[in-house]
Amino acid sequence: MPDVIVVGGGVVGLLTAWTLGQASAEVVLLERGETGREASWAGGGIVSPLYPWRYSDAVANLAHWSQDFYPSLGERLLADTGLDPEVHVTGLYWLDLDDQERALAWAAANQRPLQAVDIDALYDAVPVLGRSFQRAVYMPGVANVRNPRLAKSLREALVRLPNVQVCEQVQVQSFLSEGERVAGVRTGAGEFRAGRVVLAAGAWSGELLASLGLELPVAPVKGQMILYRCAADFLPSMVLAKGRYAIPRRDGHILVGSTLEHTGFDKTPSSEALASLRASAQELIPELAGLEPVQHWAGLRPGSPEGIPFIGEVPGFRGLWLNTGHYRNGLVLAPASCQLLADLMQGGKTIIDPRPYAPEGRLVATPLS
């Protein structure tokens, strides 16, 4: 019998299994479709919250740890698997912020290298940027990761571990209980039992917890993106204005996103969103007006209150652990979230204070039908 079942094969689930597997746990990962094909595939991959000073310390503490960890993670995965997740350090410019002074004060208080930039220096650094912007702040060292490649490299790393089993096309239907203990899961492919179960199913986590009479305040939030193909050196840095961003990949592809839509589990791309994203792209980078996007897609984020994930054991259900609800910051927070979860499960010293993420007091009991 394995030590741990991980439910969900997005980046959080994959990295949970990898972190526990590296610590010699016997792990089975169950994914209802293909690994890394939901929010982890659809997101932009900026290794920073979009506006870090607008989040609580709970989010910032996870983000800071993960940002420092990502370069070494990328190098480790490339060395172990031959698949490069492309951790691409470009820095990030925020343009025409309404709360620029707050951002700079946050940076000073948290010793983060955010600074105001002369507008002429901005246009020298990013010549293709639209000329309507008046102010900018810049943080060097901010990276983006090519999230589909990160998911592929993590999956390959798991496949190469003899103590980890990856099972795709296996949909978890409910949990197996023995008294107050969760002892495994029921799936369309039969029962799986383990010493502990980790629920890391993103936007679908709430549906599974409901089978235990628990309400998890995590709901799907749709986000749509578009992709352009440009020269490799066309956009030297990430840029963000009015909640929309442009992200350069190493090969010249540029992602522009993203929408925030509360439409349940529908992830159909819409013409309205396409028009809105194209307008944002052209405002940020006027030369994109003459190009057709080469791709347009949508994904579902696991929206949670204040974007604070749920990390820890579920009260009253011994053996059931959560690592879910990362909202817009799944890629950013994943390394720290998974290390924190592993620390808690192993009973050792934790990388940061775990209390803000604990499920206790954040879940609501509901009558079972």
pLDDT value, residue 29? 98
pLDDT value, residue 369? 55
* Pairwise CA distance, residues 83 & 96, whole Å: 38
Strand partners, 223: 299
pLDDT value, residue 58? 96
Q: Is 261 helix (H, G, I), strand (E, B) or coil?
A: strand
DSSP string covering 171-220, please?
-EEEEEEETTEEEEEEETTEEEE-SEEEE--GGGHHHHHHTTTEE---EE
* Pairwise CA distance, residues 311 & 341, whole Å: 6
pLDDT value, residue 364? 80
Q: Which residues contact 76 (CB under 8 A, 6 or more apart)?
A: none
| pLDDT class of 290 with cuts at 50, 70, 90 | confident
Q: Which residues contact 319 (CB under 8 A, 6 or more apart)?
A: 181, 182, 183, 195, 196, 197, 313
Residue 260 DSSP symbol: -
Q: Which residues contact 290 (CB under 8 A, 6 or more apart)?
A: none
Say yes or no to pLDDT of 232 above 60: yes
Say yes or no to pLDDT of 222 above 70: yes
* Pairwise CA distance, residues 203 & 302, whole Å: 4
Closest by CA to 161, choosing from 324, 21, 358, 11, is: 21
Q: The whole model's pTM is what?
A: 0.95
pLDDT in tens, 253-270: 999 999 999 999 999 999
The ranges assigned to domains in the chain are 4-45+149-218+305-365, 92-140+219-303
pLDDT value, residue 316? 94
**Percentage of the residues of the chain whose pLDDT score is greater than 90:** 96
pLDDT in tens, 302-342: 999 999 999 999 999 999 999 999 999 999 999 999 999 99
CATH homologous superfamily, domain 4-45+149-218+305-365: FAD/NAD(P)-binding domain (3.50.50.60)
Q: Which residues contact 177 (CB under 8 A, 6 or more apart)?
A: 183, 212, 317
* Pairwise CA distance, residues 356 & 18, whole Å: 24
- Tell the burial category of 365 from Cβ atoms under 10 Å away from its Cβ (0-12, 13-18, 19+): exposed
Residue 345 DSSP symbol: H
Q: Can you tell me the mean pLDDT for 145-170? A: 97
Say yes or no to pLDDT of 368 above 90: no
The structure tokens listed for 287 are: 């030369």
Closest by CA to 352, choosing from 342, 367, 361, is: 342
Instruction: Tell me the pLDDT of the chain averaged across its residues.
Output: 95
The structure tokens listed for 7 are: 């439910």
pLDDT value, residue 204? 96
pLDDT in tens, 193-206: 999 999 999 999 99
* Cα separation values, 165 from 1, 5, 97, 195, 202, Å: 12, 10, 46, 15, 20
pLDDT value, residue 366? 73
| pLDDT class of 103 with cuts at 50, 70, 90 | very high
* Pairwise CA distance, residues 277 & 261, whole Å: 13
Q: Can you tell me the mean pLDDT for 41-54? A: 94
pLDDT value, residue 116? 98
Q: Is 8 helix (H, G, I), strand (E, B) or coil?
A: coil
The CATH number of domain 92-140+219-303, selected from 3.40.190.10, 3.30.9.10, 3.65.10.10, 3.90.1150.10: 3.30.9.10
Q: Half-sphere exposure (CA, 13 Å, Cβ side) for 209?
A: 33
